[in-house]
């Protein structure tokens, strides 16, 4: 069976049978994989996984980039809680421990609807912190009036991003559609994609990234349909730029100084659209800013939040 035939069969089973098949198809979590603190009702009957840091304080909703999970924010979530904030880190639909969309809808509109549903489950206006895909979701939700945010923090994303950097991410996510034979192969793939990071001494952390499927192969945690969704930067830019023009809440843009996704020119273009926004350039970080230099990232975010939404 070819790759396309396998994916078509997967989609047919999802639509025809429902959640029980979705859960079976996604493989089994590895031993040691952390369970979500909470499942939150999203849109379309789906539930998204969340980790909660803190018990009270201004609400901060953390949204990861495509192919990542809520665990990307663990260090930031812990620091935010220590500073007096209530931080909620989400797995986007089709990622991590969140439900997969039976219809394969992973569009920006679907992600915005999920965010609106999550926000509605809390009783205060959130501070939205979004990286890459999560930042695009946050910007659309705020700029189109879907979420009344107390503040907006974009992490290495803006309306104008670099096609080459996006292609590199998609190439990484699209490799090994038939899975990996071992965790060592998974570790090699990640190390090749992030050569600037020190390779972990053990493979334990991979339990957050892959699932073990019935055929004995390790596959990434996301729904294969996520990679089949057509994306066009040309179509994305006008909508994101219009949303940016409508941002009236406090804003912070954080760019990784080594990023090949958000250029300095792209960052400056956002600042022209949102002239009241603050800006932080984390020189030693690439696209995954919070993971590369969590210390500098958290300091920048806490300095910003301390001015506009300090805990009581």
- Domains of the chain, residue spans: 3-166+224-307
For the segment 254-271, the average pLDDT, to the nearest whole number, is 96
Token pair of 24 as six digits: 């079976």
Looking at residue 312, its pLDDT comes to 86
Structure confidence at residue 89 (pLDDT): 98
CB-based contacts of 273, cutoff 8 Å, min separation 6: 159, 241, 244, 245, 247
**Residues of the chain above pLDDT 70, percent:** 92
* Mean of pLDDT values over 14-26: 43
The pLDDT score that the predictor gives to residue 231 is 73
Are 65 and 288 contacting, i.e. CB atoms less than 8 angstroms apart? yes
What pLDDT was estimated at residue 25? 65
**pLDDT given for residue 6 in this prediction:** 45
The pLDDT confidence band at residue 256, using thresholds 50, 70 and 90, is very high
Angle at 132 between CA 72 and CA 3, to 5 degrees: 85
What backbone phi and psi angles, to 5 degrees, belong to 28?
-105, 140
pLDDT classification of 125: cutoffs 50, 70, 90? very high
Question: For the chain, where are the alpha helices, taking DSSP H only?
Answer: 3-17, 19-25, 74-82, 108-120, 133-143, 163-174, 183-193, 224-228, 233-245, 264-273, 289-292, 294-308
pLDDT in the model for residue 174: 87
The SS3 assignment for 89 reads: strand
pLDDT at residue 184 is higher than 70: yes
* Helix (H) / strand (E) containing 52: strand 47-53
Q: Specify whether the CB–CB gap between 158 and 253 falls below 8 A.
A: yes
Mean pLDDT along residues 37-51? 98
Burial track 244-272 (b if 16+ CB lie within 10 A, e otherwise): beebebbbbbbbbeebbbbbeebbebbbe
Q: Which of 21-35, 42-56, 69-83, 108-122 has the weakest average pLDDT?
A: 21-35
CATH of 3-166+224-307, one of 3.90.170.10, 3.40.50.1820, 3.30.1360.120, 3.40.50.300: 3.40.50.1820
Report the share of the chain in percent with pLDDT over 90.
75
Q: What residues pair up with 153 in beta bridges, in sequence order?
A: 129, 252
pLDDT confidence tier of residue 10, bands split at 50, 70 and 90: very low
The length of the chain is 312
Read off the pLDDT band of 123 (50, 70, 90). Answer: confident
- Looking at per-residue pLDDT, the higher value among 26 and 123 belongs to 123
pLDDT tens digit string along 197-245? 788 888 998 999 999 999 999 999 999 999 887 777 778 999 999 999 9
pLDDT band at 95 (very low <50, low <70, confident <90, very high): very high
Sequence-ordered list of residues with C-beta below 8 angstroms from that of 77, at least 6 positions apart, any chain: 51, 53, 62, 87, 89
Q: Does residue 101 surpass a pLDDT of 90?
A: yes
In angstroms, the Cα distances linking 100 to 20, 74, 135 are 11, 22, 20
Asked whether residue 166 carries a pLDDT value surpassing 90, the answer given is yes
Residue 14 binned pLDDT confidence (cut-offs 50, 70, 90): very low
Q: Mean of the per-residue pLDDT values for the chain?
A: 90
Q: What is the pLDDT of residue 294?
A: 86
Q: In whole angstroms, give the CA distance from residue 54 to residue 88.
A: 9
When pLDDT is cut at 50, 70 and 90, the band that residue 291 belongs to is: confident
pTM score above 0.85: yes
Residue 24 pLDDT > 70: no
Q: Is the pLDDT of residue 8 over 80?
A: no
Nearest to 193 by CA among 173, 210, 207, 221: 173
What gap in Å lies between CA 202 and CA 200, rounded to an integer? 6
Predicted local distance difference test score (pLDDT) of residue 305 = 98
């Amino acid at each position: 069976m070819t790759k396309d035939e396998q994916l078509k069969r997967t989609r047919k089973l999802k639509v025809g049978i429902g959640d029980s098949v979705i859960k079976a198809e996604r493989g089994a979590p590895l031993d040691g994989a952390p369970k979500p603190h909470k499942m939150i009702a999203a849109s379309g009957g789906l539930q998204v996984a969340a980790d909660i840091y803190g018990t009270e304080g201004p609400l901060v909703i953390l949204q990861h980039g495509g192919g990542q999970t809520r665990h990307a924010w663990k260090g930031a979530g812990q620091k935010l809680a220590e500073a007096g904030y209530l931080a909620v880190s989400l797995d986007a639909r089709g990622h991590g421990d969140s439900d997969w969309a039976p219809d394969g809808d992973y569009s920006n509109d679907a992600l915005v609807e999920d965010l609106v549903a999550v926000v509605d489950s809390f009783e205060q206006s959130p501070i939205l912190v979004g990286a890459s895909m999560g930042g695009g979701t946050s910007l659309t939700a705020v700029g189109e009036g879907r979420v009344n945010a107390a503040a907006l923090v974009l992490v290495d994303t803006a309306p104008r991003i670099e096609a080459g950097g996006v292609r590199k991410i998609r190439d990484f996510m699209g490799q090994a559609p038939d899975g990996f034979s071992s965790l060592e192969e998974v570790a090699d793939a990640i190390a090749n994609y992030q050569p600037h990071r020190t390779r972990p001494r053990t493979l334990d952390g991979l339990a957050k990234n892959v699932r073990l499927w019935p055929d004995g192969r390790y596959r990434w945690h996301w729904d294969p349909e996520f990679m089949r969704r057509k994306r066009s930067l040309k179509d994305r830019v006008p909508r994101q730029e219009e949303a940016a023009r409508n941002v009236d809440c406090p804003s912070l843009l954080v760019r990784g100084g080594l990023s090949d996704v958000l250029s300095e020119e792209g960052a400056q273009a956002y600042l022209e659209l949102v002239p009241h926004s603050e800006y932080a350039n984390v020189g030693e970080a690439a696209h995954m800013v919070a993971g590369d230099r969590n210390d500098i990232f958290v300091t920048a975010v806490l300095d910003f939040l301390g001015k506009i939404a300090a805990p009581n």
